Amino acid sequence: MLHLRMDRRASDNVYLHKDFHNALNLAIQYLSDNFGEEGVKDYLRFFARNYYSILKADLMQRGLIALEEHYRKIYDLEGGDVTIERTEDPDELTITVRVCPAVEHIRKLGTPLAPNYEWTTSVVHETICEDTPWRAEFSNWDPQTGASIQRFVRKEAKK
């Protein structure tokens, strides 16, 4: 008989299990199949209102720097091809995604991207911005690469 024993502490590794991107993709597929588009949106709003409540509180207190720091931390860890830009206007934040690490990984696994997968960004951003002075914009979505342009601006500002 052959015996193997592996003993690991949490501190031995970095927490980065990219297959979880596909798990979320499968969740969106399930919701789409069983609850339709409104079900997908309703769940994403429910998730964002609960999980991102602390981020939203930080946004209200410190402004868009809260979102900038959040996304810099995430993309530094996850990789991809992403530019996060601020202008002189403190009420403008643009995230230009040329290759999304989540979509890149899902494609690598060979799993079809769920319908409306991009709502995991756009609907979540809109929900975070609810009842704040900012609004979220989402454009130039490419389901092959996950490319998109994500902007946060003052609600009264011109596009």
Partner 1 sequence: MISCTEFIPSYSLLFTWLENKVDYDEVVRYWEYLGRISTGKLEAAVKEKGLFGCWEYWKAALNEEAADFVMEIHINEDGTGYLASDMRYCPSMGRLLEYDHFEPHHDYCAHCDVIYPIVLDKYGIRSAPRTLDVQRAACAISLHMDEPPAPEVAAAGWQAALKELENAEAEAITAWVD
Specify the residue for token string 């995230």: 95
Among 36, 46, 72, 90, binds partner 1 (CB under 8 A): 46
Q: According to CB under 8 A, which one of 59, 64, 93, 124 is a site residue for partner 1?
A: 124
Distance CA 110, CA 47 (A): 26
Alpha-carbon distance of 76 to 117, in angstroms, equals: 22
Pair 134, 59: CB distance under 8 Å: yes
Q: How far apart are CA 25 and CA 49, in angstroms?
A: 20
38 makes contact with partner 1 (CB under 8 A): no
19 binds partner 1 (CB under 8 A): yes
Residues that bind partner 1 (CB under 8 A): 1-24, 26-27, 30, 35, 39, 42-43, 46-47, 50-51, 53-54, 74-75, 77-78, 97, 100-102, 105, 109, 120-121, 124, 146
